[in-house]
A and B are shown apart, each in its own frame.
Chain A
């Protein structure tokens, strides 16, 4: 389309939120034919805001990149949001392209938990935490996602390196001691977060070895 001899940029496409542990980033693809001279402007609105006023994004006005971090603007978990993007070239704007309705709490991808493992006498102590919610700054202590998801639980796997046996179990709270294990055996533990029936990626695997059976060494013949 040409207006007074200057091309009108194609509107952006595939405007969507990509969210991980409630870090909500809007992403889009350039319209067909748009080059790196094209700039983009982003706005957002809260679902249900009656006056239909779209909010400008200072940090995402006239930008050349194709993403915009809207974590702060979309941090109220009781709200849903829409965002929209337009392309600007030589001061001529395209139409807006809108995202679908974004529900941060529902649509965010939840990461694996943090995992600590310690071996004891024929036992292993496991402590799980998080994952940590994204936060604006590092001044305040990062909160666990468990605070926001009542149904959050952990799926744990325990691998016995000697017998090659793999055991799965679920943890609702964040620590557990597994006992009656084998002496002098290497165990590897990994965990996933589960919310609303969705499992996260597995955490890094942590391996520990239970101590030898010292009682047998004292037997006197």
Chain B
């Protein structure tokens, strides 16, 4: 339902501003090892948890002053909700319960996020959306 290039377009309009606001280059939330080598059966659950993290922990707490950024981040949030609705169907067909390893990956991302001050954390998480979009494009061809 949601096309990756749409998400890329939304994000490309605000990337420069948001990445420029991230003054903490020493911390990366979506670390390379957290996103790599996820077992195929786990990718559905991993993505669902990650999208839920973005909707509930990131977009919900992100309060940009700029109206265009506000519009674009809400478009991204709605798209993530839509993808998650699609993924809910995978409960019926596929195994979609996270195993321990996948839970740990998500928890590691959330704990790094919680260690940062809310405003810095939300800016950093949104600034790293390219990693998530690359991952979706590689694993899910939405």
A→B interface (CB under 8 Å): 45, 47-52, 78-80, 82, 100-101, 103, 105-106, 150-151, 196-197
> Contact mask B1-30 → A, CB, 8 Å, 1/0?
000110011001000100110100111100
> Is B130 an interface residue, CB under 8 A from the partner?
yes
Neighbouring A residues of B25 by C-beta, 8 Å: 45, 47-48, 52, 82, 101
Tally of A-B Cβ pairs under 8 angstroms: 42
Bound complex: CA A100 to CA B28 (Å)? 15
Q: Output the least CB separation between B4 and chain A (Å).
A: 8
Q: Output the least CB separation between B104 and chain A (Å).
A: 18
Bound complex: CA A51 to CA B130 (Å)? 23
Q: Output the least CB separation between A85 and chain B (Å).
A: 16
6 smallest CB-CB distances across A and B, nearest first, come from: A48-B28, A52-B26, A78-B32, A101-B19, A82-B25, A47-B25
Q: Output the least CB separation between B40 and chain A (Å).
A: 17
Neighbouring A residues of B8 by C-beta, 8 Å: 196-197
Q: With contacts A48-B26, A48-B28, A78-B32 known, is A151 near B137, CB below 8 A?
A: yes
Bound complex: CA A21 to CA B66 (Å)? 34
Q: With contacts A48-B26, A151-B137, A197-B8 known, is A106 near B130, CB below 8 A?
A: yes
Q: Is the interface of B mostly helix, strand, loop or mixed?
A: helix
A52 nearest in chain B by CB position: B26
> Is B61 an interface residue, CB under 8 A from the partner?
no
Q: Is the interface of A mostly helix, strand, loop or mixed?
A: loop
> Is B138 an interface residue, CB under 8 A from the partner?
yes
Number of interface residues, chain B, beta carbon within 8 A: 23
Q: 21 A–B contact pairs at CB < 8 A? A: A47-B28, A48-B31, A50-B26, A78-B32, A78-B36, A78-B131, A79-B32, A100-B19, A100-B20, A101-B22, A101-B25, A101-B127, A150-B137, A150-B138, A151-B4, A151-B5, A151-B137, A196-B5, A196-B8, A197-B5, A197-B9
Bound complex: CA A196 to CA B2 (Å)? 15
Q: With contacts A100-B16, A150-B137 known, is A51 near B32, CB below 8 A?
A: no
Bound complex: CA A79 to CA B20 (Å)? 17
Q: Output the least CB separation between B73 and chain A (Å).
A: 18
Neighbouring A residues of B22 by C-beta, 8 Å: 101
Point out which of A50, A78, A82, A197 has the most chain B C-beta atoms below 10 A from its C-beta: A78
User: Which B residues, 86 to 139, have Cβ-Cβ distances below 8 Å to chain A?
Assistant: 127, 130-131, 134, 137-138
Bound complex: CA A114 to CA B114 (Å)? 49
Contact B27 A48 (CB under 8 A): yes
Bound complex: CA A150 to CA B127 (Å)? 22
User: Which B residues, 16 to 56, have Cβ-Cβ distances below 8 Å to chain A?
Assistant: 16, 19-20, 22, 25-28, 31-32, 35-36
Bound complex: CA A63 to CA B45 (Å)? 51
